Amino acid sequence: MERLQKVIANTGFTSRRKAEELIKNGKVKVNGKIVTELGTKVDASDLIEVENKVLEKTDRKYYFMLNKPRGYISSCEDEKNRKTIVDLIGIEARIYPVGRLDYDTTGLILLTNDGELTNILTHPKNEVPKTYIAKIEGNLTLEEFYRLKKGVVIENRKVTPEFIKIRKKSENSDIVEITIVEGRNHIVKKIFESVNHAVIKLKREKYGFLTLGNLESGEYRELSIKEVKKLYNYK
């Protein structure tokens, strides 16, 4: 017997946290009855329905790394019918992105149908480091650089980079490398906005220990078993 939210997450339907929300909101039925109790245990013979759709208990897990191009959204579908990164991966199985990159952000993003791993990687307490290269408008003064290095408060919570370095200075813009363990939406843009610099271009170069290697924009590859096991170690 396993907890209902874990069974839902394990099918790759969604993350464990999202599964818990669905249960609490009365969207999950077990053997035809709505269940809102998070501790409910189920086994393989139970019929689970989520939002009135029977949960397919597919076992094959997929793990992809994509070099996201600009102009794609990081979700499975878009109400404005924009291109999604899931469309770039040629498989039938229902996979979804681990976290998000903005529409105009490029670089490394993972896609999987493993809800358990998604949960581990996106949970703030596991502090998975993510490295971004930001091209910003104007030049950072030394004072601004040290303010960022010491940490800035964004929406009542302090963000202190694990690492920050100016990679290149040009006449009216800097290229800055920044590593953070945060996953809040638009966080890198907000960090630079806090010292009055707009981000003109943003690329994620590293996710945990993973780097893009020689993946070109729009290309993807499956992760190896060794890489997946190592990602599980972030727990």
Interaction site with ligand URA (CB under 6 A):
101-102, 105, 186-189, 202
Contact between 194 and 159 (Cβ < 8 Å): no
Q: Count Cα atoms within 13 angstroms, Cβ side, for 191.
A: 33
Residue with tokens 């498989």: 91
Minimum distance of ligand URA from residue 62's CB (angstroms): 23
Which spans in the chain are helix H? 4-10, 16-24, 115-122, 142-150, 187-193, 225-232
- Of 46, 59, 102, 174, which one is the catalytic site residue? 102
* Min separation Cβ 106 and ligand URA, Å: 9
Question: If residue 180 lies in a helix (H) or strand (E), which one and from where to where?
Answer: strand 173-180
Q: How far is the CB of 48 from ligand URA (least distance, A)?
A: 33
Report how far apart, in Å, the C-alpha atoms of 201 and of each of 136, 170, 188 are. Answer: 7, 14, 11
Residue with Cβ nearer ligand URA (191 or 223): 191
Tokens of 139: 């030049």
| Pick 19 or 98: Cβ nearer ligand URA | 98
Residue 50 vs 187, nearer CB to ligand URA: 187
Annotation says 59 is catalytic: no
Q: Which two structure tokens, joined as six digits, stand for 143?
A: 């004072």
User: In the complex, what is the shortest distance from the CB of residue 8 to ligand URA, in angstroms, rounded to a whole number?
Assistant: 27
Q: Give Cα 112 distance to the centre of its chain.
A: 10
Contact 61/12 with Cβ under 8 angstroms? yes
Rounded (to 5) percent helix, strand, coil in the chain? 25, 30, 45
Nearer to ligand URA, 64 or 132 (CB): 132
Calpha distance 119→111 (Å, rounded): 13
- Of 185 and 214, which CB lies nearer to ligand URA in the complex structure? 185
Minimum distance from CB of 189 to ligand URA (Å)?
4
Active site residues: 102
